[in-house]
Structure 1
Amino acid sequence: MPLTLRLLDHAELAVTLPDFSQLLTACVEAGASIGFMADLSPLRAEAFWTDIASQVERGDRLLWSARDTASGTLLGTVQLITGLPDNQPHRGDVAKLMVSPDARRRGVADALMAALESHARETGLRTLVLDTVTGSPAEALYRKRGWVEVGAVPDYALFPDGSPCSTTFFYKSLI
């Protein structure tokens, strides 16, 4: 699938908030445990992305988008949190890797992670960390990309339907 990957600034995100809100809602409706429950309202989704835009503007977070090159449809996104404590300027937290349910298993997540990891390496970050639902397809993707499991925490979070899920923590050294 031909993809266009972009590292967005806050203004680009602000004008495309509806696309990002629809992506978030679709992922939650498909059962993704990404911090929201099944009753996610459009206003809550938009408020989330408005907050992310302010963090991007402050330089505390980076945001990538993946769009279908032909149609321009938003297929996925991932974030890198860099606004960390003073003693962690060498580290970043990967957050909210989302791929539209209609675009899964087509390389979108892998392309987003490759872009994020490349940028992190180029900007001098040495260590990345993330967490994901234990046993999920995302977990398999991270292992394939060379991420190292730290461990799992049972009942760490909830799926959108309220059922509990375990979370596995990973790190990747970029040096």
Structure 2
Amino acid sequence: MHVAYSPSAVPARAPRALTALARDSGAQTSLRRTPVKVLKLNSRDLQWLPALADLLIDSVHQGASLGFLAPLSRYAALDYWHGVYAKLGQHHSLWIASEDEGHGPLQGAVQLSLCPQANAHHRGEVQRLMVHSHERGRGIASQLMSRVECEAISQGRHLLVLDAPADSQAEAVYQHLGWQRAGEIPDYMSCAEGRLHSSALMYKRLPGR
């Protein structure tokens, strides 16, 4: 499992007034922008590949733990997304967030993998939640996760799992969205810079049982 919500672009030690100004500016900007729409892609939606590559590169270079090390080349990013497109179908789905009824810039993405084993038809795995560094603070992660949960419920799944860097902003985001921590594995994965860190295993029970 590889899921991450990238850290904020505002440095942790930035002056409080500067941080507040950045937050207020973002809020004012979002008020002037069109609503975000969440779309489910299929294997024919190849027009999104360049933007998806940009999103992955942005997330990795901002420190997200997504299974890649920085710097991430565009070739490697496109190769990854071609692999995702090849899996899209009954058990794997890709959702994106975009403005202007899906015709605007790509702002985020998330994947849902439904376990195909006969003894695990009740669960699914959330993979690689990403929100572009210029679009954070608009509730995009929440909208993407909400849509994924609705999709899982419609497919008869009532348990979702994921992992996130332990004690990170990513874990805090998931806890805010109702996820619970099941445990922690030390030195589970490398961050984008190559340092080993612990991973929190998380789950969420959905309505339906």
How far is 1:173 from its partner? Answer: 1.0
The residue type equivalent to 1:116 in the other structure is V
Partner of 1:100: 132
Paired residues, number: 173
The runs of 5 or more residues in structure 2 that have no matched partner are 1-29
Distance in 2, matches of 1:102 and 1:61, equals 27
Partner of 1:72: 104
Larger gyration radius, structure 1 or structure 2:
2
Partner of 2:74: 42
Q: CA RMSD in A?
A: 1.5
Equivalent position SS for 1:130: strand
How far is 1:83 from its partner? Answer: 4.6
Distance in 1, matches of 2:145 and 2:69, equals 25
Distance in 1, matches of 2:100 and 2:36, equals 5
Q: How many percent of aligned residue pairs carry the same amino acid?
A: 36
How far is 1:16 from its partner? Answer: 1.3
The runs of 5 or more residues in structure 1 that have no matched partner are none
Distance in 1, matches of 2:136 and 2:197, equals 21
Distance in 1, matches of 2:99 and 2:167, equals 28
Partner of 2:162: 130
Distance in 2, matches of 1:171 and 1:81, equals 14
Query: Contact between 1:61 and 1:83, CA under 8 Å: does it hold in 2?
Result: no
Partner of 1:61: 92
How far is 1:117 from its partner? Answer: 0.7
Partner residue of 2:44 out of 5, 8, 11: 11
Question: 2:144 aligned with 1:112, yes or no?
Answer: yes
How far is 1:143 from its partner? Answer: 1.1
- Structure 1 segments (4+ residues) deviating >3 Å: none
Q: Would you tell me which structure has more strand in proportion to its own residues?
A: 1
The residue type equivalent to 1:27 in the other structure is S
